[in-house]
């Protein structure tokens, strides 16, 4: 079934998805419905795969060129196992399907979304959230958005909210300038992979001075087995504008591994503010290898709120390049590593202008054999004046066999900067659990409460609807962690 | 009317027997005080009844309203109506007292039932007024950075909200200055009533000036060796624990060999 051997969109074929997890409702995202895919790039990655994706999307020649160069970079780069976990070697690139879609054009109303896809998003509560508190929603199903809509009032302000294909085709004058500039193709092996086969994601432009009151949201859903999702997101906040973007994601639990490798670039022009919130709840078979970075110009602010609960292995270090004077960068990160999971997360703050400020607050929880790793990079060169960084890094261990590692790398040159780094490791002790049980809470409830308490000050920074969701996810994870 | 019956209880920690055959029955409305020197097994008794995993019950039984609770998890015992006011309450950073109590009450409801927030806060504030606790108190994290007195008041507030059948109060007076002791005692006295049985564990008689017990028991070497009314506490205060030890000495069986 190697449809990649032809440049023509393949004969529609049914991808009957076997799902070993049907009927075991372990968590909210663990389900899958049979979906008929009209477009399938087949299994494995060759130049033909890339050409197929580009042809299906009817892309401009420069994009195909960009993709093909990226493919070469990907093939040339070694796996970064000299510093990262050897588990990366378990990704079998030749067994992954790189593009699966029903069509390329997302629907503007839920009524138009085909039933087999719509029921997935309904079950995840997306249409309901949209009605309640969102300015716009994009719902990506495997490789393409099945639904994308922005409220009229926001669209009238000139805000563009589209997927990568649509945005590069219809607004190249806005997006091409920044595309691949914040995160160059060769940044790392996985940013190169994404650049070769990217599909979907959100491209957003907020015009000068426009403050988008409600968040824009994207929901990324993996439905197919042996699949790789490679969305590409680029958000440009023009001078003095403000926008909040939230992304959520789930996938069913398959016995084989799934790959999710996104690239997210943010550009906050003079005085703009971007807040980017992620609640990642992938199934425990997903390799989640994501590159996220923003550039903050003069007086601009970029804030990443990054929450990782699911996946088998997550490697993600959201960063901010503080390019303009008085720019501010912030990363707030929560990671929960349960049995069999490795959350390798952190932050990068690259100071490149005077009086720039950065803050990193990271909290991780390791349960059972779960492993949480923090990697942080703060860079302040000698030529700058008056830069500040504050890093706070707390780990909570639930069991004696849980593991946490911290690798902070702080390079500060010059003598007019203020840098602060604090780290702590604590353990939920038996006395604490007994105390809570003595008040009537079960062991699982007690654990949940201790963990929720640990992350409470960070969760409060989330929009209400997400903090409730996060608390519920932690409860679910902890309930399952007690034997 | 409820009863908590401790029947010939033997408790060990790491194979070392600490409580060596203790029997005592407490009924609703009664306040019992257990006094005794340090290391005699008083705190062990209260933790064993509450089901602390470090304590093994090697013999005997504990019955709540005639039913053994020894097979129950600590949280089941708690929900059945046993409350332990800890000598050293644990800190739970990031969890406010209000949310903690709400979770504890929610845990007592049947599945699918939701605690009504308005009613809950109304009750919480009512109890806080009764115990003369400032409204701001419950937004603080449970015991996190509390003074000794604040920790004990937090215990009493929890007891007031959870309305147990029996309260085991472990050295409630330890670490309190005289003002804090008075405030905490007033709280306990306010909760006294026909629906509550209390077992007070204390080293010092002074607590009993504030919370006057119906019965006083002297515990020594893992057993109750003397019982009486409140006057026994005064006698202990006057004569010291040595008096009990001396009184016991002739009754104790002569050791066959002398241990070094």
Of the candidates B51, B79, B141, the beta carbon closest to that of A440 is on: B79
pLDDT tens for residues B136-175?
999 999 999 999 889 999 999 999 999 999 999 999 888 8
Closest CA to A252 of A277, A227, A230: A227
- Domain boundary residue, one of A316, A351, A382: A316
* Model confidence at A384: pLDDT above 70: yes
- Domain boundary residue, one of A291, A316, A341: A316
B-contacting residues in A 422-481 (Cβ below 8 Å)? 429-432, 434-443, 445-446, 449-450, 452-457
| Site from B82, B92, B108, B161 to mutate, A interface, most A CB atoms within 10 angstroms | B92
- Residue A237 falls inside a structural domain: yes
Rounded CA-CA distance A57/A40 in Å is 12
* Model confidence at A346: pLDDT above 50: yes
* Model confidence at B255: pLDDT above 70: no
Beta-carbon separation of B92 and A432 below 8 A: yes
The predicted pLDDT at position A28 comes to: 63
A277 vs A48, A234, A249, A318, B36, CA distance in Å? Answer: 35, 14, 12, 11, 58
- Residue B38 falls inside a structural domain: yes
Residue B185 sits in which domain range?
A: 3-92+161-248
Instruction: Calculate how close chain B gets to A134, using CA atoms only, in Å.
Output: 27
* Model confidence at A450: pLDDT above 80: yes
The predicted pLDDT at position A14 comes to: 32
Average the pLDDT over A309-316 and give the result. Answer: 93
* Model confidence at A11: pLDDT above 80: no
The 8-class DSSP code of residue B50 comes to: H
Report pTM.
0.82
From chain A, the residues in CB contact with B101 under 8 A are 439
Rounded CA-CA distance A149/A296 in Å is 27
* Model confidence at B197: pLDDT above 90: yes
- Domain boundary residue, one of A266, A292, A316: A316
* Model confidence at B253: pLDDT above 60: no
Q: Would you place residue A6 in the very low, low, confident or very high pLDDT band (cuts 50, 70, 90)?
A: very low
The predicted pLDDT at position A482 comes to: 55
* Model confidence at A9: pLDDT above 50: no
Q: Quick one: CA torsion of B108, B112, B113, B114, rounded to 10 degrees? A: 100
- Residue A117 falls inside a structural domain: yes
Question: Number of structural domains, chain B?
Answer: 1
Write the CATH number for B188.
Answer: 3.40.50.300
The predicted pLDDT at position A471 comes to: 79
The predicted pLDDT at position B82 comes to: 98
Average the pLDDT over B102-112 and give the result. Answer: 93
Beta-carbon separation of B89 and A443 below 8 A: no
Mean residue pLDDT of chain B comes to 91
In percent, the amount of chain A with pLDDT more than 90 equals 63
Instruction: Calculate how close chain A gets to B95, using CA atoms only, in Å.
Output: 5
- Residue B108 falls inside a structural domain: no
From chain B, the residues in CB contact with A432 under 8 A are 90-92
* Model confidence at A419: pLDDT above 70: yes
From chain A, the residues in CB contact with B54 under 8 A are 430
Q: Would you place residue A348 in the very low, low, confident or very high pLDDT band (cuts 50, 70, 90)?
A: very high
From chain B, the residues in CB contact with A394 under 8 A are none
- Residue B10 falls inside a structural domain: yes
Of the candidates A429, A438, A456, the beta carbon closest to that of B78 is on: A438
The ipTM estimated for the assembled molecules is 0.94
The predicted pLDDT at position A481 comes to: 62
Using only C-alpha atoms, chain A has a radius of gyration, in whole angstroms, of 22
Task: Note the residue count of chain A.
Answer: 483
Of the candidates B78, B86, B91, the beta carbon closest to that of A437 is on: B78
B-contacting residues in A 390-429 (Cβ below 8 Å)? 429
From chain A, the residues in CB contact with B104 under 8 A are 439-441
Instruction: Calculate how close chain A gets to B77, using CA atoms only, in Å.
Output: 8
Among A127-141, A173-187, A266-280, which stretch is predicted with the lowest mean pLDDT?
A127-141
Beta-carbon separation of B107 and A441 below 8 A: yes
One domain for residues A9 and A144: yes
The predicted pLDDT at position B180 comes to: 83
Q: Would you place residue A22 in the very low, low, confident or very high pLDDT band (cuts 50, 70, 90)?
A: very low
pLDDT tens for residues A277-297?
998 888 889 999 999 999 999
Mean residue pLDDT of chain A comes to 88
Of the candidates B51, B84, B92, the beta carbon closest to that of A453 is on: B92
The predicted pLDDT at position B260 comes to: 42
Cβ pairs bridging A and B (under 8 Å):
77
From chain B, the residues in CB contact with A428 under 8 A are none
From chain A, the residues in CB contact with B90 under 8 A are 429, 431-432, 434-436
Beta-carbon separation of B94 and A457 below 8 A: yes
- Residue A304 falls inside a structural domain: yes
- Residue B59 falls inside a structural domain: yes
Average the pLDDT over A403-423 and give the result. Answer: 90
Q: Would you place residue A4 in the very low, low, confident or very high pLDDT band (cuts 50, 70, 90)?
A: very low
Of the candidates A435, A441, A442, the beta carbon closest to that of B90 is on: A435
Which chain A residue has its CA at the smallest distance from B52's CA?
A434
- Residue B115 falls inside a structural domain: no
A188 vs A45, B61, B98, B116, CA distance in Å? Answer: 18, 65, 48, 52
Beta-carbon separation of B95 and A431 below 8 A: no
From chain B, the residues in CB contact with A429 under 8 A are 90
- Residue B200 falls inside a structural domain: yes
From chain A, the residues in CB contact with B51 under 8 A are 437-438
Contact by Cβ (8 Å): A194, A263: yes
Q: Which residues of B touch A (CB under 8 A)?
A: 50-54, 73-75, 78-79, 83-84, 86, 89-95, 100-101, 103-105, 107-108, 141, 158, 162
From chain B, the residues in CB contact with A434 under 8 A are 52-53, 74, 90
Question: Number of structural domains, chain A?
Answer: 2
- Residue B118 falls inside a structural domain: no
Average the pLDDT over B175-194 and give the result. Answer: 89
Instruction: Calculate how close chain B gets to A359, using CA atoms only, in Å.
Output: 21
Residue A447 sits in which domain range?
A: 435-483
| Site from B95, B97, B111, B160 to mutate, A interface, most A CB atoms within 10 angstroms | B95
Of the candidates A430, A441, A453, the beta carbon closest to that of B93 is on: A453
Of the candidates B91, B95, B107, the beta carbon closest to that of A440 is on: B107
The predicted pLDDT at position A24 comes to: 25
Among A13-17, A146-150, B53-57, which stretch is predicted with the lowest mean pLDDT?
A13-17
Beta-carbon separation of A445 and B107 below 8 A: yes
- Residue B198 falls inside a structural domain: yes
């Amino acid at each position: 079934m190697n449809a990649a051997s032809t440049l023509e969109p393949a004969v529609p074929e049914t991808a009957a998805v076997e799902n070993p997890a049907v009927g075991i409702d372990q968590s909210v995202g663990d389900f899958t419905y049979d979906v008929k895919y009209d477009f399938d790039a087949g299994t494995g990655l060759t130049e033909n795969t890339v050409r197929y994706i580009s042809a299906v999307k009817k892309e401009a020649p420069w994009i195909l060129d960009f993709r093909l160069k990226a493919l070469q970079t990907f093939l040339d780069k070694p796996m970064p196992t000299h510093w990262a976990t050897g588990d990366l070697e378990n990704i079998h690139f030749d067994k992954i399907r790189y593009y699966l879609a029903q069509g390329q054009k997302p629907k503007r109303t839920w009524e138009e979304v085909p039933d087999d896809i719509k029921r997935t998003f309904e079950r995840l509560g997306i249409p309901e959230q949209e009605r309640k508190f969102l300015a716009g929603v994009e719902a990506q199903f495997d490789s393409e958005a099945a639904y994308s809509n922005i409220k009229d009032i926001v669209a009238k302000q000139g805000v563009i909210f589209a997927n990568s294909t649509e945005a590069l085709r219809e607004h190249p004058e806005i997006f091409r300038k920044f595309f691949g500039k914040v995160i160059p193709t060769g940044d790392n092996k996985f940013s190169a992979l994404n650049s070769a086969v990217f599909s979907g994601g959100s491209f957003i432009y907020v015009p000068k001075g426009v403050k988008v009151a409600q968040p824009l949201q994207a929901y990324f859903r993996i439905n197919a087995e042996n699949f790789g999702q490679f969305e590409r997101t680029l958000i440009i906040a023009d001078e003095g504008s403000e926008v909040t973007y939230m992304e959520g994601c789930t996938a069913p639990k398959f016995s084989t591994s799934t790959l999710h490798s996104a690239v997210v670039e943010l550009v906050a022009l003079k005085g703009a503010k971007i807040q980017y919130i992620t609640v990642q709840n992938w199934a425990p078979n997903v390799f989640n290898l994501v590159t996220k970075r923003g550039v903050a110009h003069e007086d601009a602010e970029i804030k990443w709120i990054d929450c990782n609960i699911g996946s088998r292995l997550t490697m993600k270090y959201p960063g901010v390049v503080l390019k303009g004077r008085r720019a501010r960068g912030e990363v707030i990160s929560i990671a929960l590593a349960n049995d069999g999971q490795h959350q390798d997360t952190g932050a990068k703050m690259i100071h490149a202008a005077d009086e720039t400020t950065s803050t990193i607050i990271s909290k991780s929880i390791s349960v059972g054999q779960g492993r949480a790793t923090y990697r942080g990079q703060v860079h302040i060169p000698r030529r700058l004046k008056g830069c500040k960084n504050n890093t706070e890094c707390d780990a909570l261990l639930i069991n004696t066999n849980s593991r946490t590692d911290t690798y902070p790398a702080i390079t500060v040159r010059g003598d007019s900067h203020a840098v602060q780094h604090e780290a702590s490791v604590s353990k939920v002790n038996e006395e604490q659990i007994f105390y809570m049980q003595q008040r009537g809470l079960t062991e699982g409830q007690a654990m949940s409460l201790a963990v929720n308490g640990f992350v409470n000050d960070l969760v409060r920074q989330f929009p209400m609807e997400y903090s409730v969701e996060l608390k519920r996810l932690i409860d679910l994870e902890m309930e399952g962690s007690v034997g | 009317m409820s009863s908590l019956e401790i029947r010939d209880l033997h408790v060990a920690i790491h194979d070392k027997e600490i409580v060596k055959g203790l029997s005592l029955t407490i009924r609703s409305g009664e306040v019992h005080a257990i006094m005794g020197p340090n290391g005699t097994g008083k705190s062990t008794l209260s933790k064993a009844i509450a089901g602390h995993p470090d304590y093994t019950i090697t013999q005997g039984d504990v019955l709540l309203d005639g039913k053994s609770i020894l097979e129950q998890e600590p949280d089941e015992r708690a929900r059945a109506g046993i409350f332990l006011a800890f000598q050293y309450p644990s800190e739970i950073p990031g969890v406010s007292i209000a949310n903690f109590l709400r979770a504890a009450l929610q845990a007592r409801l049947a599945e699918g039932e939701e605690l009504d927030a308005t009613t809950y806060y109304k009750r919480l504030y009512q109890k806080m007024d009764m115990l003369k606790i400032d409204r701001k108190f419950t937004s603080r994290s449970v015991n996190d950075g509390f003074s000794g007195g604040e920790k004990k008041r937090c215990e009493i507030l929890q007891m007031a909200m959870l309305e147990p059948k029996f309260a085991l109060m472990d050295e409630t007076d330890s670490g309190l200055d005289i003002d804090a002791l008075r405030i905490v005692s007033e709280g306990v006295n306010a909760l006294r009533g026909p629906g509550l049985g209390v077992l007070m564990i204390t080293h010092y008689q002074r607590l009993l000036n504030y919370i006057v017990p119906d019965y006083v028991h002297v515990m020594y070497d893992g057993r109750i060796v003397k019982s009486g009314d409140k006057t026994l506490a005064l006698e202990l205060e006057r004569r010291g624990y040595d008096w009990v030890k001396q009184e016991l000495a002739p009754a104790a069986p002569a050791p066959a060999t002398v241990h070094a």
